[in-house]
Amino acid sequence: METRLVRLFVSRVQSQHRVQRNRHGGALATRQDVDDDAGVYLCDDAGDDRRARDQHHRVTRREVSLTNSSTRSAYSNLRVLVLNSFLRGTHNSVYGVIFQPFALSLGASMTTVGLLNSIGGMNGIFTTLAQSAGGWLADRIGRKPFVVAASAFGVTAYILLALAGALNVWTLLLGGIILFGFSALSRPAIASLTAESAQAGQHGSAFSLTMVAWLVPGVLAPPVGGWLADRLGYGGVFPILLAFEAASLILVWRFLRETRATRDPIRWRDFARAFARSIVPPRGLRGFFIACASDSFVWGMGWGLINGMLVKSYNFSVEQLGLMASVMSLSWAIMQMPIGRYVDRHTLKGMMIFSESLGIPLMLIGITQSRFEIFVAAQLLFALTAATWVPVVNTFLTRAVPTSARSEAFGRLNMFRGLIAFPASWLGGLLFDWGGIGAPLTANLIGSCVVILILILFVREPNRDA
pLDDT by residue (tens digit) across 25-76? Answer: 443 333 334 333 333 333 444 455 555 555 545 544 444 443 444 455 566 8
Alpha-carbon gap, residue 140 to 397, rounded angstroms: 19
- Residue 297: half-sphere exposure toward Cβ, Cα within 13 Å: 21
pTM of the model: 0.76
Output the CA torsion sign for 145, 180, 176, 418.
positive
36: helix, coil or strand? helix
Within 10 angstroms of residue 399's Cβ, the number of other Cβ atoms is: 17
Calpha distance 175→167 (Å, rounded):
14
Listing DSSP states for 280-303 in one string gives SPPTT-HHHHHHHHHHHHHHHHTG
pLDDT of residue 100 exceeding 90: yes
**What pLDDT, in 10s, does the model give residues 277-330?**
777 888 889 999 999 999 999 999 999 999 999 999 999 999 999 999 999 989
| Res. 461: pLDDT tops 80 | yes
Residue of 196, 188, 195 lying closest to 415 (CA atoms): 188
When mean pLDDT is compared across 103-117, 223-237, 399-413, the lowest value belongs to 399-413
- Return the ∠ at Cα 285 (arms to 281 and 287), rounded to 5°: 85
The answer, yes or no, to whether residue 101 has pLDDT greater than 90, is yes
pLDDT band at 398 (very low <50, low <70, confident <90, very high): confident
The residue among 180, 221, 242, 181 whose CA lies nearest residue 90 is 221
Q: Which of 122-126, 148-152, 277-281 has the lowest mean pLDDT?
A: 277-281
Radius of gyration of the chain (CA): 26
Strand, helix or coil at 64? helix
For residue 259, name the pLDDT band (cuts at 50, 70, 90): confident
